[in-house]
Amino acid sequence: MEGYINFLKAPGNTSHQCVAFFRKMLGMKKIGHAGTLDPGAAGVLPICLGKGTKAADYLLESSKIYRAELYLGVTTDTQDAYGKITGGSCFKDISEERVREIFGEFRGKITQVPPMYSAVKHKGKPLYKLARQGEVIPRKAREVMIYSLEILDINLPRVLFQVECSKGTYVRTLAVDIGERLGTGAYLSFLLRVKSGPFMIEESYTQEELEVKMGEGNIQQCILPLDYAYGHFPDAVLKEEALIPFINGVPQPLTGLKNYSLWDKILRVYSPEGTFLALGEWQTGCSQPMLKPKKIFRQG
């Protein structure tokens, strides 16, 4: 059993608890997730099974899309609705036009200071554990990318928005920073991840749906193939005589390939029968192009 399950996480559980659910249900240990969701957040949580765990790094690097709501005039210690109220000020003098203007300042490259209630580690210990002990640790600002930021509805003090962002973006912090620029303070009152890399919420499964599939013996229908995570890379097909040498680590010249793209650095590599074997990359510094294995999924 290997590949990915597009899991629709419900609010309440940690991402680690979701992995524990899958390990128990499927009876296997080699399971991970690709992108932590806060306990109070919901939405797409890609679950990697078996050799699918090799794709976690690629999936973590992919952009994410969230639907979220900020609440103006109140701040909390966790930056969301689950924390203690720490302050805020009146929002009644804020216009919709001003809200739209400030949102526009947060598109493109921005810097964020990771929140204390986060999984970022300080001397090997997650910040949220230190925060629960009342400690505040200085954190360095990080650069993240906001690819798009769209206001969906304004009903002050609530602002519903959708954001597509890079790895490492804290939507909670985005809401808080917008509130600070508006001069009222804010917290994130709602968060739903609607897309993570190629995984979309419309195609996700709830825990209850998966339990039914498991009981019917149809859980395999919910498992996406290993190459699903790499669909954005072009493909290459090996000739029969190049198959075993390649998956044993030997770079192959163009004469060992049926089809390929020289314009892309990384390729999905398949057997002549269409079995996904590996990721390959072009080897530099050679007299002729050579495709070498980068990440092998099938052993010879």
Per-residue pLDDT at 117 exceeds 70: no
pLDDT band at 63, cuts 50/70/90? very high
Q: What is the pLDDT of residue 299?
A: 72
Q: What is the pLDDT of residue 35?
A: 86
Give me the residues paired with residue 5 across strands: 47, 223
Q: Are 265 and 275 in contact (CB under 8 A)?
A: no
C-alpha distance across the termini of the chain, in Å: 19
- What does the domain layout of the chain look like in residue ranges? 3-62+198-228, 65-188, 233-296
Whether 233-296 and 65-188 are alike in CATH topology: the answer is no
Supply the angle between the helices 96-104 and 171-182 in degrees, to the nearest 10: 130
Class of domain 65-188: alpha beta
- Give the strand pairing for 266-270 and 235-238: parallel
Options 3.40.50.980, 3.30.70.3000, 2.30.130.10, 3.30.465.10; CATH for 233-296 is 2.30.130.10
Per-residue pLDDT at 132 exceeds 60: yes
Give Cα 263 distance to the centre of its chain.
Answer: 27
Lowest pLDDT segment from 124-128, 148-152, 260-264, 284-288: 124-128
Give me the residues paired with residue 161 across strands: 68, 151
Indicate the fold that domain 3-62+198-228 takes in CATH.
Pseudouridine synthase (3.30.2350)
Catalytic positions: 38
Q: What is the pLDDT of residue 116?
A: 66
